Each structure stands twice: as C-alpha cells, then as structure tokens.
Amino acid sequence: ATPTSIMVGTGRAAEMGVLFRKGDALQQLSSVGVVALDKTGTITEGHPELTDLILADGFDRADVLALVAAVEENSEHPIAAAIVRAARSEGVALADIADFTSITGYGVRALAGGADVLVGADRLMQREGIDPGALAEAEADLARRGRTALFAAIDGRIAAVIGVSDPVKPASRAAIAALHAQGLKVAMITGDKRETAEAIAAETGIDQVVAGVLPDGKVAALDTLRGSGQKIAFVGDGINDAPALAHADVGIAIGTGTDVAIESADVVLMSGDLRGVVNAFEVSRRTMSNIR
Ligand code: ADP
Ligand code: MG
C-alpha cells in the first residue's frame, strides 16, 4: 500500500463517518475474517425497558419494586436504570438502603428496608444457593424470547422474576447481512445467558454466539473465535469493551459509546449503528485492492 492510497482511503472513510485512527487499521481490516460484536449497545439499543415482573406466591408488586429499585438505584448497569424508571412510573417510594455491593457479571445486593435483597442473573442465585422454584420456568421462557431475565430474592427467598427488553437497533440486521455478503463470519459476545443471546442472534442473522462471558472474559472469547490464523475485528461501545478493543486485530468503537472504548479503538464510527462497520470494510477492501 502506498502512503498516498492509504491517505485517500482514510479520507474517503472519514467522509462516510468512519475515522481510522491509524493507517495500519485500514490495511489490517482487509484481511480480517471474523467480526465479533458486543451485544448490549452495539447490536441492541442499550436502553432496556422493564417488560415483565412475575411475582412468587405471597409477594406484592409494589413492595418488591420498592426494595429492588432501591438496590438498583446504586448500580450503573443499564438494567438498573430500567428497573428504577419502572418503579418511579408506578409511583413506588424506594426503600432505605445500606451495604450496597455490585457483583460484576452477576448482579447486585444490599440491605433494603432492613431486608437482604439480591437482584441478578440465575447464576447469582445458584452462587448464593437460592432455589428459583416455581419461577424457573418463567425465567427460561423470558430468555427464550430474547429478554434479559433476572431474579429478585428477599431474605434468601425468590420473590420475583424480572424481564428486561433491549430492542435491536433498526440497522443491525441489514448491516450483519452486508458483512456476510462480504464473506465475513459474524459473531456476538455477551454477558447475557445463552438463551437470550441465541434469540437476539436469530433475530439479526448472527452465526455464532459466545454467551455468559464475564467482563474480563471478552479477550479470551476473542482468542477462541479467532481460531487458527484468522484475523478478528471487535466492535463495542462500553467500558467493559476496552480491553477487547485493544486486543483485537482491529478494534472498532461505536462513536456514541463511552470515552474509554473510543480511546482503545483503532477505528471510530461517527454513527451509532453497525452501518459504519460495513463502510469501514468496504473502504478498506477498495483501498487495498487498488494497490495489489
Ligand atoms: P452485559 O454487558 O452483556 O449486560 P454484564 O457482565 O454487565 O454483561 O452483566 C451480565 C449479567 O449480570 C446481566 O445480563 C445480568 O443478568 C446481571 N447483572 C449485571 N448487573 C446487574 C444489575 N445491576 N442488576 C441485575 N442484574 C445485573
Ligand atoms: Mg455494550
């Protein structure tokens, strides 16, 4: 590649809202075989809404929301914001809170209104030895429908299953099809459980899913997906994505994402959706094929 053709390619890309922070990334991208996408905020909007609250026998909706939302008010996870918004819109007064802890990749815990309240994934309940009992089936059903399903436990007893829905961005499906048309394999990496992830993958046409990944596991997931000799690009938006963006052969950050993600990436997309990824690959191919 001549410096001039790289400059022209970089300029063309910039006009399309794709910023190559290094000329090297333009070259690297043309030999990438696998694109791994973060789910939340990259494929999906990243602004979930509470859609379901299914109570265990003997629990009251407003009482459970008052405790659960009080705990979640202390969390920065988008799931937490969805739960707090739902409680406020139902006019529920949040309980007093103490001893908040966030268990990364699992959920949250605190003393709320004097009770020990846990909110999180099924693996959090397993870890704490809490049996989901009759609500296990409701949780599985939500996950199969692409919702993130959480359990709330109060003083060691399952009180509710909460369903949270994070819609797929309108451009995701067509962008993933365009990446396939360019001969790329498209994978998804997420902390969500397998059933939820598979439903989103089916909705968007993704080939391969790596689910249940803890935040510090994304780098290892990339190495698994890369297999032998394939170059891999990773697309992400969150603080959790920064190590994977730095580790991938080409790290691509969604421009509406967090600063840490943007600083760790080789390529930054001005738009908030995956069309920019398609443009990045197209410009890279065109630039490199002119030279060969
Ligand atoms: P992701 O970015 O894919 O959501 P995380 O590692 O942040 O991955 O979270 C993994 C899982 O842990 C979530 O799907 C959810 O089940 C649970 N979790 C994380 N934070 C919270 C929270 N504040 N409240 C309830 N559950 C949570
Ligand atoms: Mg994300």
- Taken in order of first residue, the domains within the chain and their CATH numbers are 3-45+168-291 (3.40.50.1000), 49-165 (3.40.1110.10)
- Mean pLDDT, residues 220-240 taken together: 91
Question: Cα(262) to centroid of ligand 1, in Å?
Answer: 22
Please name which ligand lies nearest the alpha carbon of 216.
Answer: 1
For tokens 């996950």, the residue is 143
Query: 23 falls in which pLDDT band (50, 70, 90)?
Result: confident
Mutate to test the pocket of ligand 1, among 53, 79, 122 (most ligand atoms within 8 A of CB): 79
pLDDT tens figures, 82-123: 999 999 999 999 999 999 999 988 999 999 999 999 999 999
Give the pLDDT confidence score for residue 291 in this predicted structure.
54
Give the pLDDT confidence score for residue 292 in this predicted structure.
46
Range of lowest pLDDT (199-208, 254-263, 273-282): 254-263
Question: Cα(215) to centroid of ligand 1, in Å?
Answer: 10
Is there a contact between 126 and 165 (Cβ–Cβ < 8 Å)? no
Give the pLDDT confidence score for residue 240 in this predicted structure.
87
- Within 6 A (CB) of ligand 1 lie 39-40, 72, 75, 77, 79-80, 105-108, 119-121, 148, 150, 190-192, 215, 240
- Which residue's C-alpha comes closest to atom 7 of ligand 1? 105
For the chain, the C-alpha Rg in angstroms (whole number) is 21
pLDDT for residue 262 is more than 70: yes
pTM (2 decimals)?
Answer: 0.91
Residue 23: Cβ-neighbour burial (10 angstroms; 0-12, 13-18, 19+): middle
Q: Is 57 a catalytic residue?
A: no
Question: Cα(114) to centroid of ligand 2, in Å?
Answer: 34
What average pLDDT does the chain have?
Answer: 94
pLDDT for residue 195 is more than 70: yes
Nearest alpha-carbon partner for 267 in 280, 282, 284: 280
Query: 229 falls in which pLDDT band (50, 70, 90)?
Result: confident
Collapsing DSSP to helix, strand or coil, 92 comes out as coil
Q: Check 38, 249, 266, 273 and give the catalytic one.
A: 38
pLDDT tens figures, 61-84: 999 999 999 999 999 899 999 999
Helix axes 194-204, 172-181, angle to 10 degrees: 70
- Mean pLDDT, residues 221-236 taken together: 92
Nearest alpha-carbon partner for 22 in 280, 231, 240: 280
- Mean pLDDT, residues 196-200 taken together: 96
What span, in angstroms and rounded, lies between the C-alpha atoms of 77 and 261? Answer: 16
Please name which ligand lies nearest the alpha carbon of 166.
Answer: 1
